[in-house]
């Protein structure tokens, strides 16, 4: 439950970034996710799927790269 607002911050930042970049569609999101983040990629993906409806993140694909650090990093995203 406590991981949800971390996910929400990430989600909202992406929407803000989409706005700043004048894009209507984010196609790919590249994340770096380390060990023991206590964040489940499945939950993250589900959040984006449910909450993304009707937003630029609607059909965004999430890509997770492994990391040795305890981190969740938004590396970059592709947009159209």
Q: Interface with another protein by CB under 8 A: which residues?
A: 1-10, 13, 17, 21, 27, 35-38, 40, 46-47, 50-51, 70-80
Minimum CB separation of residue 55 from another protein in Å reads 14
- Backbone φ, ψ for residue 18 (5° rounding): -60, -45
- What is the 3-class SS of the chain, one letter each residue? CCCHHHHHHHHHHHHHHHHHCCCCCEEEEEEEECCCCCCCHHHHHHHHHHHCCCCCCCCCEEEEEECCCCCEEEEEEEEC
Minimum CB separation of residue 5 from another protein in Å reads 5
Minimum CB separation of residue 59 from another protein in Å reads 13
Nearer to another protein, 59 or 75 (CB): 75
């Amino acid at each position: 439950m406590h991981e949800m607002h971390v996910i929400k911050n990430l989600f909202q930042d992406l929407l803000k970034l989409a706005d700043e970049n004048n894009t209507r569609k984010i196609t790919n999101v590249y994340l770096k996710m380390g060990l023991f983040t206590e964040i489940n990629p499945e939950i993250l993906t589900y959040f984006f799927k449910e909450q993304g409806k009707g937003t630029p993140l609607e059909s965004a694909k999430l890509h997770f790269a492994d990391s040795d650090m305890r981190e969740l990093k938004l590396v970059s995203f592709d947009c159209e």
